[in-house]
Amino acid sequence: QVQLVESGGGLVQPGGSLGLSCAASGSIFSIGAMGWYRQAPGKQRELVADITRGGSTNYADSVKGRFTISRDNAKNTVYLQMNSLKPEDTAVYYCIMAITIATTPQVDDYWGQGTQVTVSS
């Protein structure tokens, strides 16, 4: 019943910027941590950044100083602003949220559908 929809991916030149957005909808009781993962061809999915409900953030070493994660709790949305992009940032980016739905006390992880980010000249 819960759905996460991502937007904002695309093609950008090295040094450019992109902003990703992920919004959750459905029978949501509460949302805890939110985050972004990415997966390049032939590689494992890796954590890019995460953010707690209170706003504490964590970043992979490879993106520190270049990416910024933020959230809007009223809109059930998480964002990823990506600056100074490099070819090695090319991947499918997935959002994730820890969500408790109205019909159960259990907390489960929900994933977005993924959005392609390509950094190339």
pLDDT in tens, 111-121: 999 999 999 99
Chain segment 16-63, per-residue pLDDT in tens:
999 999 999 999 999 999 999 999 999 999 999 999 999 999 999 999
Other C-beta atoms within 10 Å of 115: how many? 21
What is the distance between the alpha carbons of residues 12 and 25, in angstroms, rounded to a whole number? 29
Nearest to 47 by CA among 63, 31, 32: 63
